[in-house]
Structure 1
């Protein structure tokens, strides 16, 4: 559990690059991730200073994150058991709660922009697999070969995951054996092993995670967007929380939220929507609402989230070792961080 202690401003932006960061992540990996976050944050800050709308800002920032293979979205996405990429994304406009989402995307260079087109140019809120791909081509969005998204590092990680019979997050979730990560860690400890492993894998192996952005603009309008490649070694056809409005992404007059972590747990808790509901029905300020939802609404799953309020507050929370994150506000506050 953690927080940004920030006075209210007019516009504000928060971004994330995944929760559940390995505490033994090499220093150069940490610095690389922070550099990417800082660069992408600056894209959003420049747009907000120029008077851009929240919806345009979240799309632009997430596009930037999707293009960099440092995180698990767009290029650098996690691989399915079949060694292919199936990406998903969503975007939501706090004005009127319009939304768009896509799943099973394998050739669209920027899935978040396809989600935006679903919202703006189709009668629907959600398209998946072949239908989403066809719509992307109808809309003239840039498409690339599936190999564009696949990195050598992720090919190696998929091989390790298959050998260990696991599905990989930043934190590792076992496919068989121990029911939870904590149970597995206890089992390792009970056997007296001092080797740093989870699910049989060295925990220095780095699995990147979901990206997201939440913004309130100078007019007080909110928007949020989330994009991911999902889980390493996932079953083909698996859909997580990122494209599900109310679970991984939500925006309304009260706040905008983007989540990251164990998708199944986030789906069960409708985490993003719950932050807004707690603000609306319990009357809690943003950070207290975030803390409540992370502590009380999540079950045993690991997750984190970023959020902004309609009045310019910025908040975050997570129940795991760390979360790649960054934020900025109109009053000049700016931060890039990983740990509590």
Structure 2
């Protein structure tokens, strides 16, 4: 092995009845983002620059749940969060509670590069964004007609909208989860992991969180070691049930299993998804410093794409 590798995700758990047109739209976006990353890696861009670049692209397109197209809180507003980590010196930056920052992942990068801190949230993060001169937009920019309709359904069912709890097949026609028809379930968190030609790893994750979440709820995506982690061995980005990912310190555990058990990337990824999620449903993507790429999920599907320098390339949704 050796050389660069990259993986991208657009959320774990997919409505089994997702229309073919929506599946194609998702694959097209994943392919575009993957090619953007491949092109940057071929031009000798660093892994940290590549993961930021790719996640920015995902945040700008309303298809997945990050940036424009973020899930709405119980108040009908958007509170976004993101984190980024540079493997070589384990530097990291994270943000939560963003309401006007067009690209949360780039503010997370600035927290890492331009502040003495690792994590800024809510009004403090917004103030830092203004000081750094990042692009700001009105909160309405992030709110799509589709998400307003989904919030209405979630409120009518008095539930938080999960998109990855696929029920037993025995439920038959008219499948429901948490009292909601499956057709209203939408894609989730986005992320990217990359290893560059120098063998340096990085990871980035960005999300709008859960539909109808309480204002102030923070998930796994901005938490270093839970939703995002990178070190000298690997880079990991998670998606799915945030509360379970937090409890399992899932991203860090992939690195720990490699480090302490001496196993390879795919084996570590499989072990963590099998043993660290308890009852939670989630998935993750990962790369290793030796140029491997891996993923796993314990739900029905995960929007994903990956490529390696030796010519491997995959864009997929289902198991």
Whether TM exceeds 0.5 here: the answer is yes
1:168 and 2:161 equivalent?
Answer: yes
Say which of 233, 236, 251 aligns to 1:257. 236
For residue 111 of structure 2, what is the aligned residue in structure 1? Answer: 118
For residue 245 of structure 1, what is the aligned residue in structure 2? Answer: 224
For residue 5 of structure 1, what is the aligned residue in structure 2? Answer: none
Measured against aligned partners, the alpha-carbon deviations of 1:203-242 in whole angstroms (never above 9, x if no partner) come to 1223120000000000000100000000000000000000
1:294 and 2:287 equivalent?
Answer: no
Query: Equivalents in 1 of 2:276, 2:110: separation in Å?
Result: 32
Query: Equivalents in 1 of 2:250, 2:113: separation in Å?
Result: 25
For residue 303 of structure 1, what is the aligned residue in structure 2? Answer: 282
Say which of 6, 9, 15 aligns to 1:16. 9
1:271-286 map, 5 Å? 271-286=250-265
Say which of 207, 215, 229 aligns to 2:194. 215
The answer as to whether partners of 1:26 and 1:204 remain within 8 angstroms in 2 is no
For residue 203 of structure 1, what is the aligned residue in structure 2? Answer: 182
> Secondary structure of 1:166's partner?
coil
Unaligned ranges ≥5, structure 1: 1-7, 173-180
Query: Equivalents in 2 of 1:40, 1:169: separation in Å?
Result: 25
Give the C-alpha shift of residue 171 in structure 1.
2.5
Cα RMSD between the aligned structures? 1.2
Say which of 107, 130, 133 aligns to 2:126. 133
Query: Equivalents in 2 of 1:83, 1:257: separation in Å?
Result: 31
Give the C-alpha shift of residue 25 in structure 1.
1.1
Paired residues in the alignment total 319
Measured against aligned partners, the alpha-carbon deviations of 1:224-265 in whole angstroms (never above 9, x if no partner) come to 000000000000000000000000000001100000000000
For residue 72 of structure 1, what is the aligned residue in structure 2? Answer: 65
Q: TM-score, normalised by structure 1?
A: 0.92
The answer as to whether partners of 2:162 and 2:185 remain within 8 angstroms in 1 is no
Q: TM-score, normalised by structure 2?
A: 0.98
The answer as to whether partners of 1:72 and 1:78 remain within 8 angstroms in 2 is yes
Give the C-alpha shift of residue 21 in structure 1.
1.1
Give the C-alpha shift of residue 170 in structure 1.
1.6
Query: Equivalents in 1 of 2:193, 2:297: separation in Å?
Result: 16
> Secondary structure of 2:318's partner?
coil
Query: Equivalents in 2 of 1:198, 1:275: separation in Å?
Result: 30
For residue 98 of structure 1, what is the aligned residue in structure 2? Answer: 91
Query: Equivalents in 2 of 1:289, 1:320: separation in Å?
Result: 18
> Secondary structure of 2:160's partner?
strand
When residues 251 and 24 of structure 1 are mapped into structure 2, their CA distance, relative to the original with a 3 A threshold, is: same
Measured against aligned partners, the alpha-carbon deviations of 1:20-71 in whole angstroms (never above 9, x if no partner) come to 1122211111111000000011110110000000000000000000000000
For residue 319 of structure 1, what is the aligned residue in structure 2? Answer: 298
> Secondary structure of 1:148's partner?
helix
Query: Equivalents in 2 of 1:299, 1:147: separation in Å?
Result: 37
Give the C-alpha shift of residue 9 in structure 1.
3.8
Which region of structure 1 is more displaced relative to structure 2, 55-64 or 193-202?
193-202
